[in-house]
Amino acid sequence: MLLEVHPDNPNPRHLRMIAECLLSGGVIIYPTDTIYGLGCDIFQHKAVERIARIKQVDPAKAQLSFICYDLSDLSQYTKSISTPLYRLLKSYLPGPYTFILPASKEVPKILQSKKSTIGLRVPDNNIARQIVHELRHPILSASLPGEMVEEYTDPAIIYKKFEKLVDIVVDGGNGGMIPSTVIDCTKDTYEIIREGAGAWNE
């Protein structure tokens, strides 16, 4: 299904429909503040495996991150955040950043890498955050497979390509072409793993 959702004021009925789809093990493609992503409920193992199959990767090795609603939501899925790190996160989020942090026990085992880290995001995108708010816990996020980035900015083209693989393509308007900036915060000196849409001045 291709579902058009207003980017600023998402219809509550549409949000409920998307949340119900996720809770029943569905997989969606949805907009963020960067590129369109694949998403599912973090607690639905079969859906996580479906995303891994679409991307042709092992779930534990895949570069998957959680989309959180806000910082308090984010803090449940990482071990205790120091005051300086909290201030740093607060100054950059919501925004086009993925922070690699130590995973807490709340992170499902299937999604814990050998290093026990997790990528956490609070995108500056109302649709993505309102879906999480309706769901009441994060959604798993993965980039779309392949290299056809320009095509992946148009929800109608995304739908034609992926309609048999996912349950809902959420059309929130044209997406971007540059992914989030990824920062590893698990070491004493924070390290940029991938330069993306977010500027980093630390």
Half-sphere exposure of 86 (CA within 13 A, CB side): 10
- Identify the three-state secondary structure at position 3: strand
Number of helices and strands in the chain (H, E)? 6, 10
pLDDT at 109: 77
Half-sphere exposure of 147 (CA within 13 A, CB side): 0
Q: How many residues can be counted in the chain?
A: 202
Token pair listed for 202: 């630390």
Instruction: Report the chain (202 residues): mean pLDDT per 10 consecutive residues.
Output: 95 97 98 96 93 85 85 89 92 96 86 78 97 95 84 93 96 94 92 92 76
pLDDT at 39: 96
pLDDT at 71: 92
Q: Which domains does the chain have, with CATH numbers?
A: 2-194 (3.90.870.10)
